[in-house]
Homo-oligomer: A and B are copies of this chain.
């Protein structure tokens, strides 16, 4: 038996009755959008209409990025090995680490820590960059290998502005971008950084940062695993035949 009864504040279950954060799930169905219920389950309260729309946009922003990201690739490779859909999606989610999607969590953490400090946002941004520089950490959420201006970032910030969610975290993020520019570095806020700033201004704990990406990208992973299943042969070549062996030469026992 467990040490003590574990506690949960998410969902209560009784025969014929399922309540998510106190609300009857059958009532939520049809009256609240999926994104609103995602907000409810992560935040504990139902969103305002504006919060709900922002949530829709955030979840849509990371829904897919094509066939090349590590997550799509891993999901396809697992499907190609002859496995069920859930194994493929799980493998895709496993790739979402510090260097892929994890930036949301880390960026939100820094933004939440440093906005707690006194001082002008511009000065706080400099403090943040100096502190990270001393630790030899590059701030996550800035720069993108492909998109110079990320259309998702632009859209998220414009919506946040219109819906009145532009707060101190977005301000700090923009000051960081400006500080980079002043130093001649072209490291614009990327979509991870934008999500980090917006969810921070909406009051979400940074520890949930990667969760937004996971919830969103799972949809793309289902689509890629499904496409692999219906359009490709099992065990196809994933393109890494060309490599170089530089280990020990042939030798005898």
Contacts and interface: CB of A to CB of B under 8 A. Distances in A.
A248 B9 contact: yes
Copies of this chain assembled into the complex: 4
Interface in A192-221: 205, 207-208, 210-211, 214-216, 218-220
Contacts of A41: 63-64, 219-220, 223
Given A84-B87, A238-B239, A30 B53 contact: yes
A86 B221 CA distance: 14
Interface residues of A, number: 132
A195 to B, nearest CB: 11
Interface string A1-42: 111011111111101111111111111111111110110011
Given A84-B97, A214-B85, A152 B26 contact: yes
19 contacts: A11-B64, A11-B66, A11-B247, A13-B68, A20-B63, A20-B64, A26-B151, A26-B155, A29-B57, A30-B159, A34-B38, A37-B63, A38-B219, A84-B84, A90-B90, A98-B234, A207-B230, A215-B219, A218-B218
Given A16-B147, A68-B243, A86-B97, 15 more contacts: A7-B231, A8-B66, A9-B247, A10-B67, A19-B250, A21-B247, A33-B56, A35-B35, A44-B248, A81-B96, A81-B102, A85-B207, A86-B94, A86-B101, A91-B91
Interface of A: 1-3, 5-13, 15-35, 37-38, 41-42, 44, 46, 53, 55-57, 59-61, 63-68, 70-71, 73-74, 77-78, 80-91, 93-102, 105, 146-152, 154-156, 159, 205, 207-208, 210-211, 214-216, 218-220, 222-224, 226-227, 229-232, 234-253
